[in-house]
Amino acid sequence: MATTQEVNDFMKKNMKFVPRMYQILNGVIPDNGMAFAQFYQTVFGDGAIPKRLKELMFVAVGIAYMSPRCLIHVVPAIEAGATDAEILETCVVGTVAAGFVPGGPGIPYAFEYALKTLDVAGKHRKGEKWEYLPASQFDHGTY
């Protein structure tokens, strides 16, 4: 059975971040967090396509579909070596793709998500606190 610290360390090493929900769940059911992290590593780890590009692809999808939870993938992309130029081009691709998503948000709305991605990336690089979602309305308390 994995401890909370072990799974958090594994996530930081392999995923390059600990997702918000797992910051809570790893304290309650760390084995589930470890299983998720191993799955994530299987999908997003280096392969024929490098990790940084896979993470950037997910950022573009997040922008195109206006999914704030997908924007967080800019952090592991940076940690895997993504440049500012790559992040900017990813934002452009995601914004343009939003105009072609059936029933999607459209370019003007996705542009806001592109700007948020650039904001998160800039703050992360400077070591500043950043947020991609408003705080949860539910208090998880301590477990």
- Residue 70 maps to which CATH number? 1.20.1290.10
Q: Residue 25: inside a domain, yes or no?
A: no
Q: Residue 34: inside a domain, yes or no?
A: no
Per-residue pLDDT of the chain (143 residues; tens, 9 = 90+): 889 999 999 999 999 989 888 989 999 999 999 999 999 999 999 999 999 999 999 999 999 999 888 999 999 999 999 999 999 999 999 999 999 988 888 899 899 999 999 999 999 999 998 887 776 665 555 44
d(CA 54, CA 73): 9
Per-residue pLDDT, 135: 66
Residue span of the structural domain in which 110 resides: 48-126
Q: Residue 9: inside a domain, yes or no?
A: no
Q: Residue 3: inside a domain, yes or no?
A: no
For the chain, how many structural domains are there in total?
1
Per-residue pLDDT, 136: 63
* Paired tokens of 112: 């806001």
Non-local CB neighbours of 117 within 8 Å, separated by 6+ positions: 59, 62, 63, 71, 74, 87, 90, 91, 94
Q: Residue 6: inside a domain, yes or no?
A: no
pTM of the model: 0.86
